[in-house]
Chain A
Amino acid sequence: MTIDANGMNYTELNTRLRAAVAQGIDEVVVNNVLGQRFIADGLKGNIRITLNGVPGGDLGMFMSGPTCIVHGNCEHAPGNTMDGGSIIIHGSAGDAVAHSMRGGKVFVREDIGYRGGIHMKEYQEKRPILVVGGTARAFLGEYMAGGLIIVLGKNDGEPVSERGIGSGIHGGEIYIRGNVQERYLGTGAAIQPYSAEHRDRIAPIVQEFSKALGMDPQPFLDAEFTRICPMSSRPFAGKYTWE
């Protein structure tokens, strides 16, 4: 099924996507996407949606199951509070990518803005994953409570060269290719050793990312990563005294 989104309001677009799911259609192509917010917002099911163009903010918000493939860049917060499914972006994305995501995957081929993966959290089998091919800006993984963030830094230069990485982190892990300067870490974040065990953990994800975005995984698999973890799962335990 193909939808021409030219001049179409997001509510109409989502109504059509919901109808497609209800009809059991498993493949939809949406052309001329131009700034529509909330695409696939709260959408359930196993549908695969190809978006040609630039979606607006909150792509895949509260989404639970579908796959969105974006041929273009994304505005802010794709994967906001997403529950399950995948968002694969052949381009860059704005701020707060994967905000509060609790399950599924967000793959961004190029760069992301500020506060990527902020407050991602995990519960039992639900472990959200954010992979960025290029670079991430400040406050990556702030307040992170679970899940996994990987920044591959496919181009030259440091993948993350701004402050606040994992500021307030109390769960989950952040992997950044190469060395990360200590001064970029936020309060509560600590660099932990990166060993073969961790390499094995991220290898299948790196391969899946590379395959989805048509990249060669080998340089990433061969590279060294910095592993950033929380100092404690109880960052505020010692802050208070009783009245």
Chain B
Amino acid sequence: MSIGAIPSRYRIRIDRDQCMLCERCIESCPYGVFRKNGETIHVDSRKCTACHRCIAMCPRDAISLLEHPIDYRSHPIWTREVRESIYNQARTGKIILAGMGNAQPLPAIFDRLLLDACQVTNPSIDPLREPMELRTYIGKKPSRLEIRRTPEGDLDLVTELAPNLEAETPILIAHMSYGAISLNAQKSLAMAATEVKTFMGTGEGGLHPALYPYQDRMIVQVASGRFGVDINYLERGAAIEIKIGQGAKPGIGGHLPGEKVDADVSATRMIPVGSDAISPAPHHDIYSIEDLKQLVRGLKEATEWKKPVFVKIAAVHNVAAIAAGIARSSADAVVVDGFRGGTGAAPRVFRDQVGLPIEAAIAAVDQKLRDQGIRNEVSLIASGGIRESADVAKAIALGADAIYIGTASLVAMGCRVCGNCYRGLCPWGIATQREDLTARLDPREGSVLVSNLIHAWTLELSELMGAAGINSIESLRGNRDRLRGYMLDEGILKVLDVKPVGA
């Protein structure tokens, strides 16, 4: 029995007066929305993903797009998404796979936090005139320093310092693997990270030789599939990150489908062409916090204790206690990924329903580490849903040392957050391996877009800090007194340790 067609998600219209039949829309759309028939262009709106590539490439602005052109009977509980998921699963009997981050209309805590500024009683600082210190060190800080005076009267540092990453901005680029995104996308990000002197993550897809020139700016990832991991890979990275979990899909592993494993992807992951790349849910040598310590130390030992090792976890209910365990594992930084974290593909139910907001996770982890007197043992890197410079400032004021941006860096390169990454047909050349599509993204141009974004956010961050009379990122970190909660309940304010507006 068929229940017939469900309403089309988008409607594409061509203004026939404007259209000059140049066919750029046909060339632009890998989903096959447009086709030429005689002297007109036919449209199949059902195939549209709202990626906007056709709209961006149309020289006459002749294309318009409407979301949800057909209404359901409105209902607050039986939403369109709920109904359509049921139709989908009744038809297929399968798990729904979705792309990008959490699509639930939950309010962002960031939007309900307001930043402070100086007036009269303490002067603000003009970043044009005064030096602003945004340099960020990621890694262990000594709990005390031992200094010796030499016979010549100089001072020598006796304490041995742990290796730290030195970034010129607290904004880092998140782990997105080659396979999930294209090599041109990775190159763009790597060149941008080098340009603005920050770092980017490789994701769990190995390191393509084309990225070796940027390896000093790359954090190599070791995840449960151990794809692309050998001693040379570990030695190339500026730091190593053990991925335990991801905000978009806490508690489960990852599967790169075989059709995305072409010759090049297979070479960097070190698996046969066409084989599924399966990252199991747990690391099979980590079944306890003691085992995690063993992997952290195993990686340090392999690289002669020269590189910081990070541990990334998804923000889940007991995130603070877990992070405290990680801080005792010899790790140099804990990365916490909130429930708005992006992904190329995740089961919809995980993407939308599992995990915690990053804002609460940062505050809880920072507080727990302070309470236990081990905040200096690890840096805290926050990720998952950082959309603008204000989010960066708020994350740092809540207690993060640095943040990762993933989705935002892709949006800088044209991504429209259409959420169809898992189909491998990204018309912007980002989440695809198809050669004609990846060729659309020129790494040189892509890198300018991404470095512009990070540069602009860093400027805004320094302006925000200056306005608050803060001239160093160290003084903003954990400075929750410079935040006020607006329309947040008492429970959340307590977790965040932030006063309400007016207080």
Contacts and interface: CB of A to CB of B under 8 A. Distances in A.
Interface of B: prevailing SS: mixed
A41 B301 contact: yes
Contacts of B305: 11
B276 A241 contact: no
A42 B226 contact: no
Interface residues of A, number: 50
A243 B351 CA distance: 12
A96 B302 contact: no
Contacts of B94: 238-241
Interface in B270-295: 270-272, 274-276, 278, 280, 284-285, 294
B272 A241 contact: no
Nearest to A76: B285
B298 A37 contact: yes
Interface centre among A62, A99, A235 (most CB of B within 10 A): A62
Contacts of B86: none
Contact of B226 (A41, A63, A81): A81
B231 A115 contact: no
B226 A100 contact: yes
A171 to B, nearest CB: 6
A4 to B, nearest CB: 20
Contact of A239 (B95, B303, B420): B95
A146 B272 contact: yes
Interface in B206-238: 225-226, 229-232, 234-235
B97 A243 contact: yes
A77 interface: yes
B457 interface: no
Interface string A123-141: 1001000000000000000
A226 interface: no
A237 B258 contact: yes
B95 to A, nearest CB: 5
Contacts of A123: 266-267, 270-272
B243 interface: no
B234 A37 contact: no
A179 to B, nearest CB: 28
B428 interface: no
Contact of B96 (A38, A142, A243): A243
B35 interface: no
A10 interface: yes
Contacts of B89: 241
Given A42-B231, A145-B271, A236 B278 contact: yes
Given A168-B278, A241-B88, 7 more contacts: A15-B304, A58-B294, A100-B226, A171-B275, A239-B95, A241-B92, A241-B94
Pairs of residues from A and B, 10 with the lowest C-beta to C-beta distance, nearest first: A42-B302, A100-B226, A241-B94, A240-B97, A241-B92, A123-B270, A243-B98, A38-B301, A42-B231, A83-B230
